[in-house]
């Protein structure tokens, strides 16, 4: 029997595994997490007294259903939690589990690697107390902790409202919800947002909740700085009317939508194309998620779409695997899934306009702003390197010269902003600046472990 | 390495076993299931000082992607504080131990 390996145990990986099992396969499911569910549907450890039902609100039913389905699936798959895939060469996946390296062969490889927050730098963003917006939710769901007592939610994302609501619910104070995209852009995106009324209503409900709670809710802001002596003490921004406003807070949750984790897709040979709506390079696939023979991509790791789209795309990729193994096509199911996925991803494109990546704000950031938090490289250093005679105008060259993107996170955090700074300083669009190439190991691992199976 | 108040505020209790760990020589009470990061940030500590410039850092993404939260264990080398659960008797440090390390 063919060896099918799924990387990731969020909604996409689980939906794919379920379908493959129902056709008699026993896929390997590799999960870097401790427990299945991925980031969005993360399950708290069993001894944490946290009411996930209340916290998930209108998504509670879906959250619980996914975990029930995974529990039913567990004995029919080869589930490997706490396992990192750190390199891929040909059919071989290099794994790290508990400090030990091993390899596994995949005839069909489905990458459902999920996403992380996309962030834009601003002065003061490396202070203790500044975390990603997703991180603010992880601290709560995984550890039962709030990132601070008085939290500012900054960026551009519908999740700003959702996370702020969860924080209020758990006894935190929300200093401000500050969104960089103006209301006019949100109104323009409204027709597209009607493609998923459930999600739209959830967002509007979040706005109403914030207003009821008396939380300042600002649109069209320009973030100026996070200030504090050794830790976050305030957030300074310019509001849509041009007034400078300072909000006292002890933590900032920062998020500008999500970016797919594409490093493994890159190593596995996927091709990338620039997406104007998201202003990101995304892996190229067919409608089923095929990136090349034997390689399938699903979920937010392929294209940001949210949990429902992840499930649909996971199931579609599983259908593609079954068909490629010679199975009979399930035309009706595939048609339904394809339509659903197109609608949900279309909705995300509208969301990407309503909650836009603030390209012009990033291009205008002051020189002394830290861009690469791993290697301490400022925006000014990048601009100065580019301004030299025959200076680089492509991100990988800029990385080689300045070390921006070369540190521990491998450009996961600074990559999108670096792309924007390079594009801005060279008068190009985002596509022209290029994308940081993935490198093995995709996350830092001990040399002693890598030495056991060097790719 | 202390700040005025603890960065993290615990809002849900743990029912796990009480355990003891040590960070930079300071004994800390923890509960089984806590991440190293949660223990340090609910105890008024920061995680580390940045290796280029010594400014304080306390993690960022909290989901194993940014690698900003490395701490060091006497027993087990480098650990990612946000995704590593504490274990009883762990001896942790904000800086790598002296001598050769990876």
- Residue pair A307/A40 in contact (Cβ under 8 Å)? The answer is yes
Q: What is the pLDDT along chain A (455 residues), one digit of tens a residue?
A: 689 999 999 999 999 999 999 999 999 999 999 899 998 888 887 789 998 888 888 888 999 999 999 999 999 999 999 999 999 999 999 999 988 899 999 999 999 999 999 999 999 999 999 999 999 999 999 999 999 999 999 999 999 999 999 999 999 999 999 999 999 988 888 888 877 777 777 777 778 888 888 899 999 999 999 999 999 999 999 999 999 999 999 999 999 999 999 999 999 999 999 999 999 999 999 999 999 999 999 999 999 999 999 999 999 999 999 999 999 889 999 999 999 999 999 999 889 999 999 999 999 999 999 999 999 999 999 999 999 878 788 999 999 999 999 999 999 999 999 999 999 999 988 889 999 999 999 999 877 776 655 55
Chain A CB contacts of B16 under 8 Å are 45, 47
Q: Residue ranges per domain, chain A?
A: 4-116+259-352, 119-256, 359-433
* Check whether domain A119-256 has CATH 3.40.120.10, yes or no: no
* Check whether domain A359-433 has CATH 1.10.10, yes or no: yes
Assess B49–A contact: CB distance below 8 Å, yes or no: no
Judged by CB atoms closer than 8 Å, whether chains meet at A231 and B33 is answered as: no
SS in 3 state form for A176-225?
Answer: EEEECCCHHHHHHHHHHHCCCHHHHHHHHHHHHHHHHCCCCEEECCEEEE
β-bridge pairing A92-97 and A100-105: antiparallel
Interface probe with B: pick from A53, A84, A131, most Cβ of B within 10 Å: A131
Residue A134 distance to chain B (closest CA, Å): 7
Chain B CB contacts of A135 under 8 Å are 59-63, 82
Please tell me whether the interface predicted TM-score (ipTM) of this complex is above 0.90.
yes
Q: Residue ranges per domain, chain B?
A: 18-93
Q: Which residue in the set A49, A129, A250 is minimally distant from B15, CB to CB?
A: A49
Judged by CB atoms closer than 8 Å, whether chains meet at B62 and A443 is answered as: no
Q: How far is CA B77 from the centre of its chain?
A: 13
CATH architecture of A4-116+259-352: 3-Layer(bba) Sandwich (3.50)
Grouping H, G, I as helix, E, B as strand and the rest as coil, residue B68 is coil
Intrachain domains A4-116+259-352 and A119-256 with the same fold:
yes
The string of pLDDT tens digits covering residues B41-84 is 999 999 999 988 789 999 999 999 999 999 999 877 899 999 99
Could you please state the CATH topology (level 3) that the domain comprising B18-93 is classified under: Ubiquitin-like (UB roll) (3.10.20)
Chain A CB contacts of B81 under 8 Å are none
Q: Which residue in the set B33, B56, B64 is minimally distant from A230, CB to CB?
A: B56
Alpha-carbon distance A176 to A2, whole Å? 53
């Amino acid at each position: 029997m063919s060896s099918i390996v799924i990387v990731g145990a969020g909604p996409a990986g689980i939906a794919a595994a379920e379908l493959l099992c129902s056709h008699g396969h026993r896929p390997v499911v590799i999960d870097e997490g401790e427990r299945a569910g991925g980031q969005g549907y993360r399950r708290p450890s069993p001894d944490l007294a946290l009411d996930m039902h209340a916290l998930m609100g209108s998504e509670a039913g879906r959250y619980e259903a996914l975990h029930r389905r995974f529990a039913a699936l567990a004995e029919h798959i080869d589930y490997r939690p706490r396992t990192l895939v750190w390199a891929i060469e040909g059919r071989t996946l290099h794994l790290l589990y508990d400090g030990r390296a091993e390899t596994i062969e995949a005839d069909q490889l489905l990458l459902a690697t999920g996403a992380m927050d996309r962030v834009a730098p601003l002065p003061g963003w490396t202070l203790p107390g500044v975390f990603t917006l997703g991180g603010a939710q992880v601290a709560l769901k995984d550890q039962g902790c709030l990132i601070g007592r008085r939290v500012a939610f900054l960026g551009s994302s519908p999740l700003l409202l959702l996370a702020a609501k969860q924080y209020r619910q758990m006894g935190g104070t929300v200093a401000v919800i500050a969104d960089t995209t103006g209301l006019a852009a949100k109104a323009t995106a409204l027709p597209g947002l009607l493609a998923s009324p459930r999600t739209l209503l959830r967002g509007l409900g979040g706005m109403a909740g914030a207003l009821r709670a008396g939380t300042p809710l600002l649109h069209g802001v320009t973030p100026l700085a996070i200030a504090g002596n050794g830790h976050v003490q305030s957030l300074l921004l310019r509001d849509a009317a041009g007034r400078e406003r300072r909000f006292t807070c002890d933590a900032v949750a920062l998020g500008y939508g999500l970016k797919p984790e594409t490093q493994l897709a890159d190593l596995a040979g996927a091709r990338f194309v620039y997406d104007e709506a998201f202003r990101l390079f995304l892996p190229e696939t067919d409608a089923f998620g095929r990136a090349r023979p034997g390689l399938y991509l699903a979920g937010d790791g392929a294209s940001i779409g949210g949990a429902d789209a992840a499930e649909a795309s996971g199931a579609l990729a599983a259908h593609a695997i079954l068909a490629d193994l010679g199975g009979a096509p399930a035309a009706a199911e595939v048609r339904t899934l394809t339509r659903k996925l197109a609608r949900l991803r279309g909705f995300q494109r509208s969301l990407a306009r309503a909650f836009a990546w603030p390209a012009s704000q990033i291009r205008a950031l002051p020189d002394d702003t830290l861009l690469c938090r791993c290697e301490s490289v400022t925006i000014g250093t990048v601009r100065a390197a580019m301004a030299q005679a025959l200076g680089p105008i492509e991100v990988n060259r800029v990385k080689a010269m300045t070390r921006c993107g070369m540190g521990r996170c491998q450009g996961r955090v600074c990559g999108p902003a670096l792309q924007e700074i390079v594009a801005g300083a060279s008068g190009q669009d985002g596509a022209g600046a290029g994308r940081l190439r993935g490198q093995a190991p995709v996350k830092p691992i001990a040399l002693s472990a890598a030495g056991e199976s060097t790719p | 390495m202390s700040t005025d108040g603890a960065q993290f505020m615990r809002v849900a209790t743990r029912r796990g076993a009480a355990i003891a760990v040590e960070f930079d020589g300071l004994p800390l009470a923890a509960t089984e299931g806590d991440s190293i990061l949660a223990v340090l940030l609910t105890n008024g500590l920061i995680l580390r000082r940045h290796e280029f410039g010594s400014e304080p850092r306390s993690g960022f993404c909290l989901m194993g992607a940014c690698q900003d939260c490395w701490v060091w264990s006497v027993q087990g080398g480098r650990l990612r504080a946000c995704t590593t659960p504490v274990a009883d008797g762990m001896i942790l440090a904000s800086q790598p131990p002296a001598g050769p390390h990876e």
